[in-house]
A and B are shown apart, each in its own frame.
Chain A
């Protein structure tokens, strides 16, 4: 059999043609995507990668809600200039508890994967609410409403944690039980600052 005969057969049999198209289109995914999803060392957390606590988790959702990843990446690429500027380059295992991951694809602002601990909580808070009060030339928008709303306004933290536990995040019953208390009295900006401060290089100490 040669390719011309095969082509003739496919051309006259639409069921076979559909199957052939699907097979060929799937090859890229089968090679590139499937092993990444299922391979052990890409979904195994790094040695110091821990699941987010309730406050950081809430902050992470706010990071998504406010679209921070539109302008900030969270991946230090393995390039000399980036390692010099931001710190150790990002590894796959560091994102094991990021669902979805927030690597981003564009840097209008700087990369944030190693931002934790660079500035104080107070600075981060003031900067989020009004960036130009601290950095006069900043083009980052202010997010003043973060100071107005309670961090767990919709009371969804426990169901979020249960859903993540089903996906393999090692939260205990006690963790989930204690979550609303950890968020009590916090504003949204507090949770977002806690999340930003938790973005650290894996060999550095985790935030207290």
Chain B
């Protein structure tokens, strides 16, 4: 479709723009100052006894107003981009303006932000204003899934206020989760093992919480299929995101039915990566906020 090169269009814009400016100048100049504007052979009609065309000239300040606009337009086109591809004497551009402001932002706030990014978590946690900032970052990025109270939502998005951290609750592990996201894969076993085995496994899994099971019929299957990730005692493995089965936190619901569904049909949890959306300072603040001493309810 575009056979003409952009240099043509640049010239086109410049020529039409300049021609318009000259045309407007000619128009106002000749209306106000050129001779011979009145054709003598065509007398104007007369209204109200003495009112004729050309009775009074248009006010002169109109001329100066339009003339000034023309001068300002020309100055603008010399300084800023507008005349085709000519970038203007100031070399201004929208992208350049954003970069300039980003640079100024870095100069003004960069050192402080670097301090925050490298600070001890305890130091950050003591500063109420920094924690308020951290909560705003949380509200804008995390809250729609994990809830504004960080207590998790919908039996799908984990609570960040309890002691259970599927991928580990250490600061470094939380930072890893935020930056790179997490993909949890729990396969479904019902097709392979059959309904009865799933029932037994569900029952056995529930007994792991109090450790009361003795010679449970589900134990063999558990050790065979589940222990590799969740551990023989059910204590989980944060490296794999395999949750602890011995505590009473259960991401997808506490009921036997929900746990049976997890075992039978599997689950696929996903935490998106925020490494490109949040900078080091924001991540550090979030980690500090999430691990603050009064975070656990």
Interface residues of A (CB under 8 A from B): 2-5, 8, 27, 30-31, 34-35, 38-41, 43, 78-80, 83, 87, 89, 117-123, 126-127, 133-136, 168, 204
Q: Using Cβ atoms and an 8 Å threshold, which residues of chain B touch A122?
A: 156, 270
Give the shortest distance, in Å, between B55 (CB) and chain A (any CB): 14
- Please pick, from A39, A79, A136, A204, the residue contacting B2 in the complex, using a CB distance under 8 A: A39
Q: Using Cβ atoms and an 8 Å threshold, which residues of chain B touch A2?
A: 30-31, 34-37
Task: Mark out the residues of chain B between 133 and 158 whose CB falls within 8 Å of any chain A CB in the assembled complex.
Answer: 141, 143-145, 148, 153-154, 156-157
Give the shortest distance, in Å, between A124 (CB) and chain B (any CB): 10
Q: Using Cβ atoms and an 8 Å threshold, which residues of chain B touch A87?
A: 276-277
Known: A39-B6, A119-B272, A204-B276. A27 touches B39 (CB 8 A): no
Residue in chain A with minimal CB distance to B5: A40
Residue in chain A with minimal CB distance to B17: A31
Q: Using Cβ atoms and an 8 Å threshold, which residues of chain A touch B34?
A: 2-4
How many interface residues does B have (CB within 8 Å)? 45
Give the shortest distance, in Å, between B156 (CB) and chain A (any CB): 7
Q: Give the total number of A-B pairs whose CB atoms are below 8 A apart.
A: 95
The reply to whether A4 and B31 form a contact with Cβ atoms under 8 Å apart is: yes
Question: Is B119 interfacial (CB 8 A cutoff)?
Answer: no
User: Residue-by-residue, is B1-41 near A (CB-CB < 8 Å gives 1, otherwise 0)?
Assistant: 11011100100110011001000001110110011111100
The reply to whether A40 and B2 form a contact with Cβ atoms under 8 Å apart is: yes
- Please pick, from B30, B144, B270, B271, the residue contacting A4 in the complex, using a CB distance under 8 A: B30
Give the shortest distance, in Å, between B262 (CB) and chain A (any CB): 15
- Please pick, from B1, B4, B94, B148, the residue contacting A136 in the complex, using a CB distance under 8 A: B148
